[in-house]
Amino acid sequence: MSAMSESSQDTRIPVTILTGFLGSGKTTLLNHILDDQTHGMRFAIIENEFGDVGVDEKILSEKSDEEVIEVMNGCICCTVRGDLVVALKKLHKKIEKFDAVIIETTGLADPAPVAQTFFVDDDIQSMYVLDGIITVVDAKHIMARLDDEKPEGVENEAEEQVAFADRILVNKTDLASTIELDNIEKRLRKLNPMAAFYRCTQSKVEPKNLIGIKAFSLSRVTEMDPEFLDTEGEHEHDPSVSSIAFKFDGYLNMHKLSELISDIIQNMGANLYRYKGVLNVAGMSEKFVFQGVGMLFSGNFEGTWAQGEKRECRFVFIGKDINKKTLTDGFMSCKCDDKLRFQLGDSVQANGPKGWTPGKIIKLWDEGNPYRIELQDEQGTNVWAPVDIDSFVKLP
Ligand SMILES: Nc1nc2c(ncn2[C@@H]2O[C@H](COP(=O)(O)OP(=O)(O)OP(=O)(O)O)[C@@H](O)[C@H]2O)c(=O)[nH]1
């Protein structure tokens, strides 16, 4: 029988493993593939979430009607022989709803044990075929991650992700010069001379180059890693890299929060691989949603708190040598009462540009500031009290 007729009879569902370090652009790529109209394929997605405080729930949500989505908590590469097999078997029962599976691993996952699942479990082998491993790298941070020193016996996940890839997306090319990109590619090619490389921004690579490519080669992988099929093999993660997830009720003061965030980025940024959060800011009807990679932070007010929705603060930080207590204490110290000491129209003393000046409260909760005060000077200057304490605003 020819290879052609053999493959045309293969009814197994193709699976793509989407990997890449924290914040490299995996979810951006997944959304790009799902939004693409040209492939005409329907996907089942296995999302691997790190930790149990979900801050990602909005991602993919609008697509959940069209796609079959399974979420696995914890680290996929450690639970692989258990949870992933269960998730794949469960998915297979809905086989009429999709043509292919995409597994998005966490950024700290080693893709090898995930790939191994498709070769060591007989049931899985009869249902699925591994189509390819796609690795997204962040051009701004990949060199630092490859340089990270790891303890004896611990693999560098970023290196593993590159070594096992069939396709490598060098993403965020807007954040690196051509020379830097050439150097990155040179280094990555040493780790993996076989993969096809794509330079991109926003993970924009044509899906046909990534999906349905029949690229995964067991012989290449076993040549590179002779123990690939050894199910007894253990792997360890770097114990100095950890994730903290936290949630609490309460309102945060915007001014204190801004100071805290710039302090975190300045002092801990280099060790923060990934962080995300949704915060409840006093006086704001919208959620403060932030996320970042290293020192690149973004945060905006977006999406109004729905009526009846619990206004709570949730965040996740993943990094090296991070101190849970420092971070959680920091956020807790931004908590404030949403009830204010003064009312609209109250006369107060405000600590304005010319020192203590009499004024009148003309607005409550203005852009996250508890008070907007009109000073009783010639111009009727407006000032904002960022925190409801005596050092900014007090009784006349
Ligand atoms: N400047 C720049 N930012 C990008 C690019 N692609 C993605 N990003 C941003 O990088 C951040 C991380 O992207 P994600 O797609 O969430 O990365 P991820 O790999 O899924 O991250 P994890 O949450 O760690 O799994 C987001 O803020 C993206 O908007 C790019 O080409 N250039």
243 close to ligand 1 (CB < 6 Angstrom): no
Residue 219: the pLDDT is 85
- Structure tokens belonging to residue 306: 């729905």
Distance 24 CA to ligand 1 centre (A): 5
Give 207-230 pLDDT, tens digit per residue: 999 999 999 988 888 888 888 887
381 close to ligand 1 (CB < 6 Angstrom): no
State the DSSP H helix or E strand holding residue 320, giving kind and residue range, or none if neither. Answer: strand 312-320
Three-class secondary structure of residue 54 per DSSP: coil
pTM: 0.85
24 close to ligand 1 (CB < 6 Angstrom): yes
DSSP β-bridge partners for residue 129: 14
* Among the listed residues 265, 290, 242, the one whose alpha carbon sits nearest the alpha carbon of residue 51: 242
Q: Which residues contact 20 (CB under 8 A, 6 or more apart)?
A: 26, 107, 134, 135, 136, 137, 138, 161, 169, 171
CA-nearest residue, atom 12 of ligand 1: 23
Residue 65: the pLDDT is 53
Choice from 18, 19, 22, 28 to test ligand 1 binding pocket (greatest atom count within 8 A of CB): 28
Distance 139 CA to ligand 1 centre (A): 11
CA-nearest residue, atom 9 of ligand 1: 25
28 close to ligand 1 (CB < 6 Angstrom): yes
Residues of the chain scoring pLDDT < 50: 1-6, 57-61
25 close to ligand 1 (CB < 6 Angstrom): yes
Residue 18 to residue 161: CA distance in whole angstroms: 10
Distance 40 CA to ligand 1 centre (A): 25
- Give ipTM to 2 decimals: 0.99
For the CA of 20, the closest atom of ligand 1 is 19
CA-nearest residue, atom 1 of ligand 1: 172
Q: Which residues contact 362 (CB under 8 A, 6 or more apart)?
A: 344, 372, 373, 374, 382
Exposed/middle/buried for 37, CB within 10 Å: 0-12, 13-18, 19+?
exposed
Residue 55: the pLDDT is 55
* Among the listed residues 258, 259, 266, the one whose alpha carbon sits nearest the alpha carbon of residue 288: 258
What Rg do the C-alpha atoms of the chain give, in angstroms?
25
Residue 81: the pLDDT is 63
Distance 64 CA to ligand 1 centre (A): 21
Place of tokens 């207590």: 325
Q: Calculate the CA 112 to chain-centre distance.
A: 21
